[in-house]
Structure 1
Amino acid sequence: MSDQTPLIEAPKSRVPLIAAVVVVVLAIVGVVTFLVVRGGDDAPRATGGDKAPALSKDKPVKVVIGAVNASEPYWDTFKARAKDAGIDLEIKDFADYTQANPALSQGELDVNQFQHLVYLAQYNVANDDDIVPIGATAIFPLGLYSQKYEDVADIPDGSTVVVPDDDSNQARGLLVLQSAGLVKLKDGGSAFSTVADVDESASRVKVKALQADLTATSLPDVAAAIINNDFVTDAGLKFSDAIAKDDPKDPKALPYVNVFAARAEDKDNAVLQKLVEVFQQSQDVLDGADKASGGTAQFLTTSPAELQASLDEVETQLRATKK
């Protein structure tokens, strides 16, 4: 899977596009999280049986949480809130995010939280796996910036707007432009759209793709530019300067929500569901996570069923691109 998570620079090839996407996104947020649920010597294991153990402060269920950059203060807060719910959290660092899904699939982990749905779809399709989302965390928006205009409505018809040329951010940038009313995509838009999919006759602006690290430097010469989150502050901009960004309520943005993920057989596990609930309903945890993201996180509580439907759609689209 921020891309601020999520907003990633992906490789040029379309199939492995998500791996690179997630690296940059999550690097911006400064945190990549892998959650593990397993029993310690004195605690029952949350998964691996027919029934999840009951949660109790007197006999907590052991949960090992793995994270890259576990020094963010909100992890200690999360640990305290989980303890209140009968979950004994132990934080563990992982050096390589690419190990998280294979480890989950092989049973070494019981749940992870580091990826958005597009990345998860990429992994499942590439590995013929069926890891599923069990809860949402946040979208880390991709923004449109301008040095000339303070509102999208002020951008003149026929002017040029640039998007990153990497596959994933190009598609996501085009969806932002479509949501803002600047372009219309021939197929309605998807996580795999390109500039070639822009319906020029029905669009207000012309779209040009540039190398991701050049979109910010192009601002003096164009009407506006989609800028990956990792280049925003380097360009002397603030995230609040964006004149348009992903709308979490837009179904087209849903594939970019970060999720808790588990093996298919554990999708209804009560302990894992409680862990998601603790994250989503603990305001001090959310405040800390938002601070770690530079104030860009847009938290969601999208249902697992909706997340799964979006994942299925992206996987179908991805398989179609491979034919």
Structure 2
Amino acid sequence: MSNDAPLIEAPKKNPLPLVIAGVVVLALIAGLVYALFLRGDDDKETVRIGVVGASDPYWDIYVKAAKDEGIDVEIVDFTEYSQPNPAVTNEDLDLNQFQHIVYLADYNVSNDQDLTPVGATAIYPLALFSERYDSVEDIKAGETVAVPNDPSNQARGLLVLQSAGLIKLKSGGSIFSDLADVDEDASKVKVKALSAELTVTSLKDLAAAIVNNDFVDKAGLKFEDAIATDDPSDPNALPYVNIFAARAEDKDNATYKKLVEIYQDTKAVTDSVQEVSGGTAILLKTPVEDLEASLAKVEADTKAQKK
């Protein structure tokens, strides 16, 4: 072969299949990462909190504040106080926020449960309202006044009536007082018990009624129109501090603790709570240890009372 003969070049490899393969691999990796991202977002835990009165504007503010901290919150509304605790017990909810310590103690003892406080919110006065009278002195002897029928708020309502001079309690009054403790002969008015949501709607048929704070604004009442109230700033009022409650095994849950902090420390939330309460709420950051100690004492007293 002549040295001048053209050399036959080896065929060059076509780079296109390698490029395509690389693109496919990158696309698969990107797709996998995206799918994992989406799945992680879908599986992100949503904390379900039961309340009575989800229409209160501070709950929307609270949900947004929690979202800003990376926590998804779903507010679940209930119309009756008897519902949110069983929902937490049955794991339909993670937390609830609607009750004070006395109410929780009665639930735990009556149902052999161990729900526990994970944070304080506020304490609210319990007030007496009337559509007929401007003062308790104007209420006529023998008329009927209503109190809530749940044990904790019934006792507290009866203490308000006694302080107002409308009734006398045989035992002098305690967190366990009920209608049987009313000394009818020594009392100015008759007392009947209604579910908490009905005391306010029955005002037109009564001389007056104890109305739980949750229902005052919703009924179109003004807090300043109350004709009698208790003193929520009294140190003895600790059992009536409202709380976030959880199952006992979740009391150290870091997310739940953070949610308590968000409620307590977000000014937009606390400002709205005050607005809804007509400025009557006393916002608190009571240490959880104090809440637990109060609950334990009230539970012990409740068990002794029920024997």
- Partner residue of 2:264? 280
- Partner residue of 1:128? 112
Whichever residue aligns with residue 40 of structure 2, its letter is: D
Q: How many residues align?
A: 257
Q: Does 1:210 align with 2:192?
A: yes
Secondary structure of 1:87's aligned partner:
coil
From 20, 33, 42, the equivalent of 2:40 is 42
Greater fraction of residues in helix: 2
Distance change in 2, residues 1:82/1:317 (3 Å) = same
From 64, 67, 70, the equivalent of 2:47 is 64
- Any stretches of 5+ residues in structure 1 without a counterpart? 1-39, 46-60, 220-224
Whichever residue aligns with residue 273 of structure 1, its letter is: K
What is the rounded CA distance, in whole Å, between the counterparts of 1:284 and 1:144 in structure 2? 29
- Partner residue of 1:77? 61
Contact conserved, 1:167 with 1:192, CA < 8 A, in 2?
A: no
From 226, 235, 247, the equivalent of 1:242 is 226
- Partner residue of 1:143? 127
- Partner residue of 1:30? none
Identity over aligned pairs, percent: 53
What is the rounded CA distance, in whole Å, between the counterparts of 1:234 and 1:76 in structure 2? 17
Cα-to-partner distance string for 1:8-62 (whole Å, 9 max, x where unaligned): xxxxxxxxxxxxxxxxxxxxxxxxxxxxxxxx9537x9xxxxxxxxxxxxxxx85
What displacement does 1:292 show?
Answer: 4.4
Q: Alpha carbon RMSD of aligned pairs, Å? A: 4.2
- Partner residue of 2:210? 227
What is the rounded CA distance, in whole Å, between the counterparts of 1:210 and 1:249 in structure 2? 28
Distance change in 2, residues 1:206/1:103 (3 Å) = closer
Contact conserved, 1:173 with 1:226, CA < 8 A, in 2?
A: no
What is the rounded CA distance, in whole Å, between the counterparts of 2:297 and 2:143 in structure 1? 29
What is the rounded CA distance, in whole Å, between the counterparts of 1:159 and 1:95 in structure 2? 37
- Partner residue of 1:37? none
What displacement does 1:143 show?
Answer: 1.4
What is the rounded CA distance, in whole Å, between the counterparts of 1:125 and 1:226 in structure 2? 28
Secondary structure of 1:64's aligned partner:
strand
From 276, 290, 294, the equivalent of 1:310 is 294
- TM-score calculated relative to the size of structure 1: 0.60
What displacement does 1:134 show?
Answer: 1.5
What is the rounded CA distance, in whole Å, between the counterparts of 2:179 and 2:86 in structure 1? 33
Q: Does 1:113 align with 2:128?
A: no
- Any stretches of 5+ residues in structure 2 without a counterpart? 1-37
Distance change in 2, residues 1:313/1:190 (3 Å) = farther
What is the rounded CA distance, in whole Å, between the counterparts of 2:73 and 2:154 in structure 1? 38
- Partner residue of 1:87? 70
What displacement does 1:172 show?
Answer: 1.7
What is the rounded CA distance, in whole Å, between the counterparts of 1:75 and 1:234 in structure 2? 15
- Partner residue of 2:160? 176
What displacement does 1:251 show?
Answer: 4.9
